[in-house]
Structure 1
Amino acid sequence: MTDLSTAHTADLGAATLTAVRGLLDEVFEGDFSDDDWDHSLGGMHVLVHESGGLIGHGSIVQRQFVHDGRALRAGYVEAVAVRADRRRRGHAGRIMAELERIARNAYDLGALSASEEGIAFYTARGWSRWQGPTSVLAPEGLQRTEEDDDSVFVLPGSTPLDRTGALSCEWRNGDVW
């Protein structure tokens, strides 16, 4: 039997955080940096346990975007992972359904950066590729992030969006999107 739970980072103990980091390191095969880990903290986590062991995770954190002259509260999805031997059983869909519920009810929009492998999964769930230029408000000022233009996806909420317009995010260490 699998159990799905949702908790804020502040409510996860050290053992759970260690288990989550271990899962992410395993699933991303060593391509999950300390910056990636930091990006996944400070928000809500969706955890899937099976027989007492952690088999899936996703988190959503608040970020600030600017679009069409407006500051937007974005629920940014991070660190979605399911153990390889537990894939194709609906766990990622359950994780995303909860993250999408949070995004729709707590933020102006949901957003994420999709890998090539994840694009079909996210688009099938109603996420749309951002078609306009992306930028980051870096310490040096606004800088284009052309390399990320095709990887940013949004889940529209109640705020109207022109997906062909410019979108910028705040600076953070590591990958900004």
Structure 2
Amino acid sequence: MTAEPVLEVIASGELGPVQRRQILALCSAAYDEDFSAYLEMLGPATHLLLHAGGELVSHGAWVERELRAGGFDTLRSAYVEAIATLPARQGRGHGSRVLSRMIPLLAGYDIAVLSPSVEGFYRRLGWEAWQGPLSFRSPEGVEVATPEERVMIHRLPRTPAALDLHASLSVDWRPLEVW
């Protein structure tokens, strides 16, 4: 009998060196690039670690970011990052399990947001593609359009009912990847 995968929720400040190395190795393998800089960019994040057979097989994290959507005041968002599964373990539902278990943990936020690598994967889990123009606010306070970016949202209990997917959506600048 195979043991059920185990999900661990842990703040980045509580990650030990072994866990950091495991996350880095998993994400680097899944994204086929050195993930060191991106892991550092996450800063204070909450991580979900999915272990199967004693091995870290899938990871996801979120950070808090402020978004401005259409005519709404700032929305407190859970910005989802680094959804990754070991390449040899992909296609077995591990990434879906991480995302599905993550959503209830985000209920205190106004909205969940991510920049998808594969939209279809997220769409089948309830994520919606943002249709309106995207931008970021530079450190100098200037709005800079990002027409090449794609963003998806997941509505949470606190998401405004009148949120329009065709409105503008803006986020504050950050290094490496704005969205």
Fold agreement, TM-score > 0.5: yes
What's 1:147 paired with?
148
What's 1:17 paired with?
20
Kindly tell me the number of residue pairs found equivalent between the two proteins: 171
Which structure dedicates a bigger proportion of its chain to helix?
A: 1
CA distance in structure 1 between the partners assigned to 2:86 and 2:111 by the alignment = 28
What are the ranges of 5 or more consecutive residues in structure 2 without an aligned counterpart? Answer: none
Identity of aligned residues (%): 33
- Which residue identity lines up with residue 5 of structure 1 in the other structure? E
What's 1:138 paired with?
138
Deviations 1:131-162 (A, max 9, x none): 110110112311111111xx100011222211
CA distance in structure 1 between the partners assigned to 2:99 and 2:133 by the alignment = 26
TM-aligned CA deviation for residue 123 of structure 1: 0.5
User: Is this contact kept in 2: 1:40–1:79, CA < 8 A?
Assistant: no
From 3, 8, 12, give the equivalent of 1:5.
8
What's 1:95 paired with?
98
Please list, as runs of the form range in 1=range in 2, the aligned pairs for 1:105-144 lying within 5 A after superposition: 105-115=107-117, 118-140=118-140, 141-144=142-145
Deviations 1:111-147 (A, max 9, x none): 00011xx211101111000011011011231111111
User: Is this contact kept in 2: 1:39–1:78, CA < 8 A?
Assistant: no
CA distance in structure 2 between the partners assigned to 1:20 and 1:56 by the alignment = 9
User: Is this contact kept in 1: 2:48–2:59, CA < 8 A?
Assistant: yes
TM-aligned CA deviation for residue 40 of structure 1: 3.2
Tell me: CA distance 1:31–1:133, structure 2 relative to 1, closer, same or farther (3 Å): farther
Q: TM-score, normalised by structure 1?
A: 0.91
Q: TM-score, normalised by structure 2?
A: 0.90
Deviations 1:32-88 (A, max 9, x none): 361x22343412111011222211100011011011241011101100111111122
What are the ranges of 5 or more consecutive residues in structure 1 without an aligned counterpart? Answer: none
Q: In structure 2, the residue corresponding to 1:176 is in which secondary structure?
A: coil
CA distance in structure 2 between the partners assigned to 1:159 and 1:176 by the alignment = 22
1:64 aligns with 2:66: yes
User: Is this contact kept in 2: 1:41–1:59, CA < 8 A?
Assistant: no
What's 1:54 paired with?
56
- Which residue identity lines up with residue 154 of structure 2 in the other structure? L
CA distance in structure 2 between the partners assigned to 1:33 and 1:132 by the alignment = 32
User: What is the RMSD computed on CA atoms of the aligned residues?
Assistant: 1.4
Deviations 1:74-117 (A, max 9, x none): 101100111111122211111001221122x12100000011xx
CA distance in structure 1 between the partners assigned to 2:33 and 2:60 by the alignment = 17
> Moved runs in structure 1, 4+ residues, more than 4 A?
none
